[in-house]
Copies of this chain bind each other. A is one copy, B any other.
Amino acid sequence: MTQIIEKTDVKLQAKQAQKAAKTLAMLTTEEKNKALLTLADHLDNSVETILKANKIDLERGQEKGFDEAFMDRLSLSKERIADFANGLRQVAELEDPTGEIQSDWTLENDLQVQKITVPLGVIGMIYEARPNVTVDATGLALKSGNAIVLKGGSNAITSNKAIVDVMHEALCETAIPKEAVQFINTTDREATQQLFTMKEHIDVLIPRGGGALINAVVNNATVPVLETGVGNCHIYIDKEADVEKALTILINAKTDRPAVCNAAETVIIHEQWFENHKDQLISRLQEHNVAVHGDETVINAVKDAEKAGEADWANEYLSLDIAVKIVANLEEAVDHIDRYGTKHSEAIITEDSATANKFMMLVDAAALYHNASTRFTDGGALGFGAEIGISTQKLHARGPMGLPALTTIKYLMHGNGQIR
């Protein structure tokens, strides 16, 4: 049985993290990198222990009757653990985002001003089933000089605990205090809620998971939140869209990995293009087993299409379903995206670059695509090296967040008695 930790312990853990963060912030890049490599080696050497723990979660998951996709995300293997370790080695290779002098200048009174990047302090990570987040988030936090408080999903608690135990053991051989990685070892929801308001000890909360989890954090947290992930992404096929480009991009964005946040959920089509190319469109969607939900025009034209309602426009399917909306012009497309989009990734397919530019300026989202798939909104794909999540908010960080998103700045002023 999972031990229920007392209410006060979460606070104690956050305090310990905060204290450890001070030590961590003073370490050199080399010390942090060496620690990450040590963590990686320990994970490689602890495959059996971790798999044994994972088996407990998997058995419990089976009893609870979770679906295949869920069980797959929960399931670890020798290869997956090797991937975790290699992920840490890659983070060790990345540039240290802290200690960078972003700008410096001298005032007329000779006061010297430096604006430098520093760690945020303590990161609270609240996530669902995937145990890889336990390792990935820890690696990114430590590299950027931050302590981390991990609150993973209850269904992966035994696996996560085993992984953290290995990381703690490893940290004892490094310059990083093991208290810099805190694991909230309880399935008690109250523990999560405590994290929401621990402003004195936690600098930022990062939720990773489904919409319900993210909303719970955003709506209840007084700690600042880096909102990630929900992507109700649209592809707008303009009247000047090249047919082959449009269909190739649509199929890729919808079917390559339907369950990820940068997959397309709705295609908006100019009425003229739809009129001219609907047969090709429909046969291509059918070929890839994509189920069509559509507005009036669409259900009149497409056999087996279901009528799309508010829920179809507003939510991610995360499956081989697509909502299809026909519009008379660009403005109607933009209005629809304004209403239902989640400011994640939006694409226009057109050969008219003026229309493309207008779309890209008018639509309010982290990533705007002209003639390319929304699937590129990803730290790895864009060359950021690693990502802690994809921000759908506008403050601090927008779109894929690499190591710099885990830093803040300080102004350092050196004087010789200046007063005002």
Contact = CB atoms under 8 A, between A and B. Distances in A.
Contact of A367 (B203, B394, B410): B410
Interface residues on A, range: 35 or more
Contact of A408 (B203, B395, B420): B395
B224 A372 contact: no
Interface stretch (A88-96, A136-144, A357-365): A357-365
B368 A418 contact: no
Contacts of A268: none
A415 interface: yes
B411 A368 contact: yes
B368 A412 contact: yes
A369 B419 contact: no
A121 B364 contact: yes
Given A107-B382, A248-B419, A366-B410, A224 B361 contact: no
23 contacts: A22-B362, A107-B376, A111-B372, A120-B394, A121-B364, A219-B222, A224-B394, A242-B417, A245-B416, A248-B419, A256-B419, A356-B414, A368-B410, A369-B413, A369-B415, A371-B417, A372-B418, A375-B420, A394-B408, A395-B395, A395-B408, A398-B409, A399-B411
A290 interface: no
Interface in A74-115: 105, 107, 111, 113
A148 to B, nearest CB: 15
Given A373-B419, A395-B396, A398-B410, 8 more contacts: A107-B382, A107-B383, A244-B417, A249-B417, A252-B419, A360-B410, A367-B411, A372-B416
B420 A204 contact: no
A13 interface: no
A252 B111 CA distance: 15
A204 B22 CA distance: 30
B398 A408 contact: yes
A120 to B, nearest CB: 6
